[in-house]
């Protein structure tokens, strides 16, 4: 099960720079035992981020497993207010809503619905990858797919996505044909992690299967995030297929 909890916050000072503090809020309001499990896990079954939408501060918490939904979304949906930075910032939750989606919906779409050859991907919060001990802060196609395949496989009971041949095919048959990007660092524990935000348009060539794979991974990525530190607020993405209206979601 995939789930998204959307909370409108009344504090105008909050932005993506407070995301790591908001992860602390999450840990404070879930069971201590489950928080410890999450702390020890390399691939987290959730992502979270703060974005500004129409002058509103929106906090998204998204989960990709049934257990994470029960242990995180359910208790956090009961919050009316919280504090961060040892009480220095008080935040009221103005309104909230959450929605769920069955994992097999993405698989059904994969098998039954043809995919558009153009995918418009927006990186809403600073995004980065890590390779050979160095940060990669531009949209490397292979790293995008590899990150999503690893996250998908770690959470899925339906499909193992870790396949080198599929990764190579996806990479070779995808091309960035338009972009609007800028660098933006992400502060974390006194260190600024280099990242990027903005949008790209991907053209998917090759077979229809490749296009459906790409679409499924990107739609999954809206819940998991892409790249590093997605549990702390990095790597939030939004997918629009060509022809979809911006207010469709």
The structural domains of the chain, with segments of one domain joined by +, span: 2-101, 103-248
Report the pLDDT value the prediction gives residue 249, as an integer from 0 to 100.
40
Report the pLDDT value the prediction gives residue 86, as an integer from 0 to 100.
66
CA distance 109 to 243: 17
* pLDDT by position in tens, the chain (length 249): 999 999 999 988 888 898 889 999 999 999 999 999 999 888 899 999 999 988 899 999 999 999 999 999 999 999 999 998 766 889 999 999 999 999 899 989 999 999 999 999 999 999 999 999 999 999 999 999 999 999 999 888 766 777 899 999 999 999 999 999 999 999 988 899 999 999 999 999 999 999 999 999 999 999 999 999 999 999 999 998 654 444 434
> In 119-152, which positions are buried (b, 16+ CB within 10 angstroms) versus exposed (e)?
bbbebbbbbbbeeeeeebbebbbebbbbbbbbbb
Report the pLDDT value the prediction gives residue 242, as an integer from 0 to 100.
57
CA distance 17 to 122: 19
Report the pLDDT value the prediction gives residue 247, as an integer from 0 to 100.
42
CATH number of 103-248: 3.30.70.1900
Report the pLDDT value the prediction gives residue 27, as an integer from 0 to 100.
95
CA distance 226 to 219: 11
Please state, in angstroms and as integers, the Cα–Cα distance from residue 184 to each residue in 125, 222, 230, following that order. Answer: 9, 20, 15
Maximal CA-CA distance, the chain: 54
* Common-topology check for domains 2-101 and 103-248: yes
Give domain 2-101's CATH architecture.
Answer: 2-Layer Sandwich (3.30)
């Amino acid at each position: 099960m995939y789930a998204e909890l959307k909370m409108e916050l009344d504090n105008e000072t909050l932005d993506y720079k407070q995301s790591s503090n908001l992860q602390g809020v999450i840990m404070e309001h879930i069971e201590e035992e489950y928080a410890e499990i999450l702390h020890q896990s390399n691939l987290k079954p959730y992502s979270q981020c703060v974005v500004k939408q129409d002058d509103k501060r929106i906090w998204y918490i998204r989960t990709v497993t049934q257990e994470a939904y029960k242990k995180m979304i359910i208790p956090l949906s009961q919050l009316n207010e919280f504090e961060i930075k040892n009480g220095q910032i008080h935040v009221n939750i103005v309104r909230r809503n959450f929605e769920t989606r069955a994992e097999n919906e993405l698989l059904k779409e994969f098998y039954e619905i043809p995919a558009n050859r153009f995918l418009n991907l927006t990186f809403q919060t600073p995004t980065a990858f890590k390779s050979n001990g160095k940060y990669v802060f531009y949209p490397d196609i292979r790293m995008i797919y590899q990150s999503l395949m690893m996250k998908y496989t770690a959470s899925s009971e339906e499909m193992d996505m870790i396949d080198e041949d599929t990764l190579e095919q996806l990479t070779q048959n995808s091309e960035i044909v338009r972009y609007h990007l800028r660098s933006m660092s992400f502060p974390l524990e006194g260190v600024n992690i280099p990242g990027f935000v903005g949008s790209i348009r991907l053209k998917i060539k090759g077979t229809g299967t490749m296009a459906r794979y790409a679409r499924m991974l990107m739609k999954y990525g809206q819940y998991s995030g892409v790249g590093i530190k997605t549990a702390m607020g990095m790597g939030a993405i939004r997918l629009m297929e060509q022809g979809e209206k911006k207010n469709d979601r």
